[in-house]
Structure 1
Amino acid sequence: MPRIPSHGPPPGRAPGAPPVGRASAGQYAPTQKPEPVPAGDRTRGHRPPPPPARPATAPPAAKPPRPRRRGRRTVRVGKVLLILLLVLVLGGTGLLFYYDSRLDRIDALPAYAGRPSDTPGTNWLIVGTDSRSDLSDDQRTNLSTGDADGSRTDTIMLVHNPPGSGKATVVSIPRDLYVEIPGNGSLKVNAAYNIGGPALLVQTVENLTGIHIDHYAEIGFGGFDTLVDAVGGVDMCIDQPLNDPKAGLKLSKGCHHLNGRQALGLVRTRAFPRADLERVVNQRKFLAALVSRATSPAVLFNPFRLFGFIGGAIDALTVDERDHIWNLASLMFALRDPVTTTTPTGESVYTDDGLALPVTDRTEEFFGLLRAGQPIPDELLVDAR
């Protein structure tokens, strides 16, 4: 076969360089050293080295504490407070109706032809009687009430509470005031109760004053001392020493803390130069002292005294059949700072009913102003406090 001529060195070799892989005569061939086979050229079946081990997994980080849910806590507290409020409201309402149901009621406000129409404000007739019917023999002895039968009115007070923010006016009507008693002619005013009970007394007072009576409250000897003792007694000051064995009373001049027995004696005694006119002043002073004590924090925030007073009042009072315990509460707060006075009258005169106090023009003027809601001038205020 003919030889193919070479046209030059193989690509990539410089001209004149010895042939690769064969040593020319007289030339040096470099020593061949084994080199590691690349991973890709290794023989099949050889297991590749395992991948590097993963580092051990670190324990999960502790979760941060869950923040307190104040909203949920507030809702829970609110529910508890709401439940407590409902318990208090329902419990208070229940007690209110319980005590209201225990009130002794009578039909004291009569309906009759010519009765005065409704007058501005709220008007109470408060009556204190000397009834001993509910007293035991021991109570009559301890309270020095005597053994008289029947009922007479030792105390007659008209309380006028004007509309708006004006002060209430407490007017004592002397028991010896000589008035017209419907169907019975002219007699002392306290005879009306003895003849026809509360209804006739209310009608007599309405005819005298021209004022429509809205509420009626009556208290007798029974329960009076318990009512005073329930609030821990009352503080009163007297202008002169008192010694009245009939009323079981002996007090020095000055200020005293009176228990129930002493307070009863004070509102009953007539051992004064002015007799009944001085007694009605002490009765108003006592009423003010009792109301002040009953509405003080020492009683209102002391459940034992508060419920004792409420229970004592329920036992001691008789009211009209249309009156309720909330009417009595309203009366008490109206009496905290009233204007107090006695009905203006003439000088004592002899009448068919004995020595009595006559109604005069001043009497009619006084009640006319009170009825119209007008201010009472000082010259018509008698023994005012």
Structure 2
Amino acid sequence: MSPQPPSFDPTNRRKRPSANDAKNVGHGGEVPRAEHTQVFKPEDIPSSEQQRPVAAGQASAQVPPSYAPAGSRQSGEQYQQAPQRPSEPPRGNQPPGPPPAGRRPRKKRRKWPIVLIVVLALIIGWPGFLIIHGNNKMEHVDALSDAADTPGTTYLIVGSDQREEDGINDGATDGQRADSIMLLQVPESGNAALVSLPRDSYVEIPGYGASKINASYSLGGPELLVSTVENLSGMTVDHYVEVSMSGVSSLVDAVGGVNLCLDYDVSDKKSKLEWEAGCHDADGDTALAFSRMRYSDPKGDIGRAERQRQVVSKVIKKAASPSTLINPVKQYKLVDSAATTLTMSTGSGLTNMAGAALGLRSVMGDDGLMGAPPISSLNYRTPSGASAVLLDPDTIDSFFEKMKNGELTQDDFTDLG
């Protein structure tokens, strides 16, 4: 007789643990498991089988989840079925899914570094261009002597009255003369000073004897004029700057005109200056006539030198104004006009001219030192009978010594009232 298989209760496939088993678990024992027990995972059971109702007394096709050890859950606690894994979509013809995520958009590069580089290039490059342009266009002349250097920086600024077609001839002088002579000294310490030397000053001209100082330019050009001024002042000229008097017109127009003042009426046929007492805005032609007029001036050549300094100071002030400094068009026009109008000594350029402009600006301020040197007579008769300006022989040497060392005061200048 074949052995009978043990009875099998389909509703209870696993033997429940007894109290003794729980004690054994607590002491490290193992819970006996029912034989022939197989644990099924919920996902292994078809969904149709999971939802099929089970009749009473019928073996259930659904395998309940395995029990946890006794004491690990409360009595009557039901276990939740584990979530099903999403079924894979059918292969083959299936609708396309969402497009793959695109590349991360590139950040826009900031433009301000490029703009900054361009601005810096303009700030640095534009002045350099102006200097190169001006130096290439400017004329140079051999004017300096080989005399030993003296302290400070000395500029000789000369207005030439070349008889140009558009110039203003205020006399019967033939050839080329030095119409305006100004000596600017920027000392190593002390105050800068500007001295206007009357063009009719009676001085010693090296190699020619005593004569009017402007005759030295006619006799030997800029080089002889420089030697004559050095012989008179005891200072060595470092930079020679010459401006044609007719070029004053273009410089004034380049800065947009200047405001000039004169306290008396003028109607001068030689210079063609028509002026009503007071201050007026002047264009280039008017400023040129204003600078050259002397026969209608009660102080003659001294008064003309004062008006010339006024024109120079107003041009420099206008050139250094913000309206010019921030306007590239005005800057170019001014540099171009200056380069065309000015002639400088060999080796000098616009940077040296800028140094002279700074010196002129300081001496032409409210506390600046400028004027005429000590004068003994405005109507000195030379041996030939010509009228000239005689400098004071007793004080002229000490005057220039103070000027060289930056020790001049306004009281040292001639006051002709």
TM bin, normalised by shorter chain, reads 0.7 to 0.9
- Superposed displacement of residue 87, structure 1: 4.9
Q: Deviation at 1:172? A: 0.3
Asked whether the equivalents of residues 120 and 373 of structure 1 are also in contact (C-alpha less than 8 Å), the reply is no
Following the alignment from structure 1 to structure 2, what is the Cα–Cα distance between the partners of residues 371 and 315? 31
Amino acid at match of 1:255: C
| Partner in structure 1 of residue 400 of structure 2 | 367
Letter in 1 for 2:311: F
Cα pair 2:253 2:284 within 8 Å, conserved: yes
Q: AA paired with 1:317?
A: L
Give, as a single letter, the amino acid of the residue that structure 1 aligns with 2:354: A
Aligned partner of 1:382 in structure 2 is 414
Identity %: 35
Taking a change above 3 Å as real, the CA distance of residues 181 and 306 of structure 1, as seen in their structure-2 partners, is: same
**TM-score under structure 2 normalisation?**
0.71
Secondary structure of the corresponding residue to residue 281 of structure 2: strand
Q: Is the 8 A contact 1:362 1:380 kept in 2?
A: no
Alignment of 1:122-133 (within 5 A): 122-132=153-163
Instruction: Tell me, in whole angstroms, the C-alpha distance in 1 between the residues paired with 2:283 and 2:373.
Output: 29
Q: Which amino acid aligns with 2:213?
A: V
Find the aligned partners of 1:86 and 1:349 in 2 and give their Cα distance.
59
Distance in 2, Cα, partners of 1:148 & 1:350 = 19
Q: How far apart are the structure 2 equivalents of 1:104 and 1:119?
A: 26
Q: Is the 8 A contact 1:243 1:251 kept in 2?
A: yes
How far 1:337 moved relative to its partner? Answer: 3.0
Partner of 2:252: 228
Measured against aligned partners, the alpha-carbon deviations of 1:264-293 in whole angstroms (never above 9, x if no partner) come to 111111122221111111111111111111
Q: Tell me if the contact between 2:252 and 2:284 (Cα under 8 Å) persists in the aligned partners.
A: yes
Range 147-156 or range 239-248, more displaced: 147-156
2:216/2:225 contact within 8 Å kept = yes
* Residues 1:89 and 2:124 aligned together: yes
Match of 2:59? 36
Give the stretch that moved more between structures: 242-251 or 295-304: 295-304
Correspondence list, 1:309-320, <5 A: 309-320=334-345
Q: Using a 3 Å threshold, how does the CA distance of structure 1 residues 91 and 253 change in structure 2: closer, same or farther?
A: closer
Aligned partner (choices 366, 369, 373) of residue 343 of structure 1: 373
Shift of 1:242: 1.6
**Structure 1 match to 2:79:** none
- 1:110 has 2:133 as partner: no
In structure 2, relative to structure 1, the CA distance for the partners of 1:371 and 1:92 (3 Å cut) is: closer
Superposed counterparts of 1:1-385, under 5 Å: 34-37=57-60, 52=84, 54=86, 73=109, 76-111=111-146, 115=147, 117-132=148-163, 135-136=164-165, 139-140=166-167, 143=168, 149-163=174-188, 166-270=190-294, 271-338=296-363, 339-347=369-377, 348-353=379-384, 354-359=386-391, 360-374=393-407, 376-383=408-415
- Separation of aligned partners in 1, 2:224 and 2:125: 40
Against the structure 1 CA distance between its residues 54 and 131, is the aligned structure 2 distance closer, same or farther, given a 3 Å change threshold? same
Structure 1: distance between partners of 2:416 and 2:88: 101
Moved over 4 A (4+): 37-40, 66-69, 143-148
Q: Report the 3-state secondary structure (helix = DSSP H, G, I; strand = E; otherwise coil) of the residue aligned with 1:216.
A: strand
Distance change >3 Å, CA 172–CA 100, structure 1 → 2: same
Alpha-carbon distance, 1:346 to partner: 0.9
Could you tell me how far apart the structure 2 residues matched to 1:52 and 1:173 are? 112
Counterpart CA distance in 2 for 1:79 and 1:286 is 43
Name stretches of at least 5 consecutive residues in structure 2 with no aligned partner. Answer: 1-55, 64-82, 90-96, 364-368
Between Structure 1 and Structure 2, how many residues are aligned? 327
- Alpha-carbon distance in 1 for matches of 2:126, 2:404: 40
| Structure 1 unmatched runs, 5+ | 1-32, 41-50
The answer to whether the Cα contact below 8 Å between 1:102 and 1:314 also exists between their aligned partners in 2 is yes
Cα distance between partner residues in 2 of 1:302 and 1:144: 35
Per the normalisation by structure 1, the TM-score is: 0.76
Change (3 A) 1:377 1:256: same
Distance, in Å, in 1 between the alignment partners of 2:85 and 2:317 is 93
RMSD over aligned Cα atoms = 3.1
Aligned match of 2:52: none
CA contact (8 A) 1:242 1:251 kept: yes
Kindly tell me: are residues 368 and 36 of structure 1, through their superposed partners in 2, closer, same or farther at Cα, counting changes over 3 Å?
A: same
Q: Is the 8 A contact 1:211 1:371 kept in 2?
A: yes
